[in-house]
């Protein structure tokens, strides 16, 4: 599994670099767009640094207390062993099986069926479960769901998805600023300040507008692709912890049939075991989660074993391709 974590990190790094280039390009574009003399390059450089500073500040805030913000948005409350001994025992067993420190346990008072994990560090992680899921699943199914959430912690998904979400948010904010600047007369001001620029100014304006429109779309595609793949990996890791793919399949079927509204916040939605408020029928580029029926089909077909290699083979059969990272650490 260590090889899988390394592969996760490498792929995440590629996505972050791609999103980072979009972010820097947007910053440079807004700087050049607002600069009376774009040929000097000063505006582009200033815009680039401002974009990086905005992202850095948001990242520091998320690292320092992002998990608490997420929990407050979801209206989650902490529970202890004396309040729910069975749930505590389940998480404790999974902590031992995974080798992870015991996370804090939170419950969300909603009849919706969902769960998520948060925390930038495995030593300070949190798993949260809704009251609806807690009351409507049996012990084996709850264990399977919580194993999935702890798999996100084990695979370092929470950290990567949090930073990716922040970068996506920064790109969207800067794009909005750029488009609003154009609407509010930024282009007319530049035209009056740079008489005679002619075709060059028109080209700059067109490029900047296209970048402001396309950058958030591309960033979302990168982000959602990263999120979807991690759900499959978390399912596979969960099964390696519990050796029980059928209970996870049963749990996902019950969760997919639940239509109760649940809005834990946009950042938290990508971390939930199933996309809140939406019953998915098909995969698309704007989806944070893969189709739940495909996840169930993979789990139900794992009669040959519960190891990661078996999951990969079944995944390739159901999905039609094998683009999951390979576990190169063989004994």
Burial track 266-277 (b if 16+ CB lie within 10 A, e otherwise): ebbbbbbbbbbe
How far apart are alpha carbons 158 and 125 in whole angstroms? 9
Which is catalytic among the residues 149, 231, 253, 283?
Answer: 149
Tokens of 49: 């640094």
Of 203, 209, 167, 168, the C-alpha closest to 186 is 209
Tell me the two tokens of residue 234.
């978390």
Question: In sequence order, which residues have a C-beta less than 8 Å from that of residue 299 and are 6 or more positions away?
Answer: 235, 239, 245, 246, 248, 249, 252
How far apart, in whole angstroms, are the C-alpha atoms of residue 331 and residue 312?
Answer: 18
Distance in angstroms (rounded) separating the CA atoms of residues 65 and 206: 40
User: Could you tell me if 134 and 142 are in contact, meaning their C-beta atoms sit under 8 angstroms apart?
Assistant: yes
CA 88 – CA 91 distance, rounded (Å): 5
What is the CA 259 to chain-centroid distance, rounded? 22
Closest CA to 253 of 53, 113, 116: 113
93 labelled catalytic: no
Positions marked active-site: 149
């Amino acid at each position: 599994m260590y090889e899988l974590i390394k592969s996760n990190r490498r792929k995440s790094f590629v996505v972050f670099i791609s999103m980072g280039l979009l972010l820097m390009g947007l910053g440079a574009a807004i700087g050049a767009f607002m600069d009376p003399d774009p040929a000097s390059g000063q505006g582009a450089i200033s815009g680039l640094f401002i974009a990086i500073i905005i992202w850095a500040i948001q990242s520091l805030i998320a690292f320092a207390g992002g998990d608490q913000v997420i929990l407050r948005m979801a209206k989650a409350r902490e529970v202890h062993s004396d309040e729910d001994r069975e749930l505590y025992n389940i998480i404790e067993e999974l902590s031992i099986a995974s080798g992870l420190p015991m996370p804090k346990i939170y419950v969300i008072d909603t009849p919706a069926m969902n769960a998520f994990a948060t925390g930038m560090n495995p030593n300070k992680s949190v798993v949260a479960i809704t009251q609806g899921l807690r009351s409507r699943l049996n012990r084996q199914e709850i264990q399977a769901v919580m194993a999935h959430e702890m798999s996100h912690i084990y695979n370092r998904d929470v950290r990567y998805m949090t930073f990716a979400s922040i970068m996506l948010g920064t790109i969207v904010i800067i794009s909005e600023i750029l488009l609003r600047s154009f609407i509010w007369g930024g282009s007319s001001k530049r035209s009056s300040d740079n008489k005679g620029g002619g075709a060059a100014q028109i080209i700059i304006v067109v490029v900047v507008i296209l970048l402001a429109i396309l950058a958030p779309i591309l960033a979302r595609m990168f982000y959602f692709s990263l999120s979807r793949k991690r759900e499959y990996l978390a399912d596979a890791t969960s099964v390696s912890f519990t050796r029980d793919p059928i209970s996870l399949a049963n749990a996902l079927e019950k969760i997919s049939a639940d239509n109760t509204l649940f809005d834990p916040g946009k950042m938290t939605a990508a971390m939930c075991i199933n996309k809140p408020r939406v019953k998915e029928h098909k995969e698309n580029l704007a989806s944070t989660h893969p189709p739940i029926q495909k996840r169930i089909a993979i789990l139900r077909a794992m009669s040959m074993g519960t190891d990661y290699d078996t999951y990969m083979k079944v995944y390739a059969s159901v999905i039609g391709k094998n683009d999951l990272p390979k576990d190169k650490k063989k004994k």
